[in-house]
Amino acid sequence: MRYRLVIFDWDGTLMDSESRIVACMQAAAADVGWGILDAEHVRDIIGLGLPEAIERMCPGMPADQAEALRRRYSHHFVDAERTPSRFFPGVEAGVTRLRGNERLRLAVATGKSRRGLDRAFASTGSGDWFHASRTADETLSKPHPRMLEELLAEVGVEAKEALMVGDTEYDMEMARALDMDRLAVTYGVHAPERLARSGPVYTAASFSELIEWLHD
């Protein structure tokens, strides 16, 4: 394998959580009196940190209302997680295959909060799949490359030895800022033509396809 570190986005790349995020954000906006958020606008911000997502979706929203929206979104999402979201087809088998390579390290770089990612790890039993992880509330939100820089430093790998896997242009641009290889998946939230603008080294239509590409 050409890489020593593969870094995965979470929502839309490993976890099939798009519809849940959209529904919870729409409910939260209604709760705080902002009105109906268009589903496409919500899909567009998946992958960003929550403060950055709210600022982008709701320009001009007063700070106190934005904070109320953040709290209500978290409430709805935690409540919805009583029924855990599912991994995309092929994820569990694919990650198991990658973990069989003792030289390879795996990590997560996500727009989720640390509490949110830890809940997802616990509910799916996937926390020990990864050697490191970064969340948006621990560092800077995508597309800033800070979380990738921190992961590279923690694992002790150079950018040229790493691959970022994601479903949004935020993932792709974050990696491009470090001249890191990036692999786009098209089963998530951003359209293939949008992902293509960031110059991925490969574009996969399924998780199984990206695993096969990695092992070529």
Beta carbons within 8 Å of 44's beta carbon, 6+ residues apart = 56, 57, 189, 190
Provide the b/e sequence for 3-27 (b: ≥16 CB within 10 Å): bbbbbbbbbbbbbbbbebbbebbbb
Which homologous superfamily does the CATH classification assign to the domain defined by 18-80?
Putative phosphatase; domain 2 (1.10.150.240)
Report the distance separating Cα 150 and Cα 188, nearest Å. Answer: 25
pLDDT at 216: 76
Question: Are 5-16+86-215 and 18-80 in the same CATH fold?
Answer: no
- pLDDT tops 80 at residue 29: yes
Tell me which CATH code domain 5-16+86-215 carries. 3.40.50.1000
Residue 35 clears pLDDT 90, i.e. is over it: no
Domain coordinates in residue numbering, the chain: 5-16+86-215, 18-80
Summarised one tens digit per residue, pLDDT across range 179-199 is 999 999 999 999 999 999 999
pTM tops 0.75, yes or no: yes
Average pLDDT over residues 208-213: 97
* 112-124 pLDDT, tens digit each: 999 999 999 999 9
Q: Is the pLDDT at 98 greater than 80, yes or no?
A: yes
Gyration radius (Cα) of the chain, Å: 17
3-state SS, residue 1: coil
**Residue with structure tokens 């403060």?**
51
What are the tens digits of pLDDT across the range 51-62? 999 999 999 999
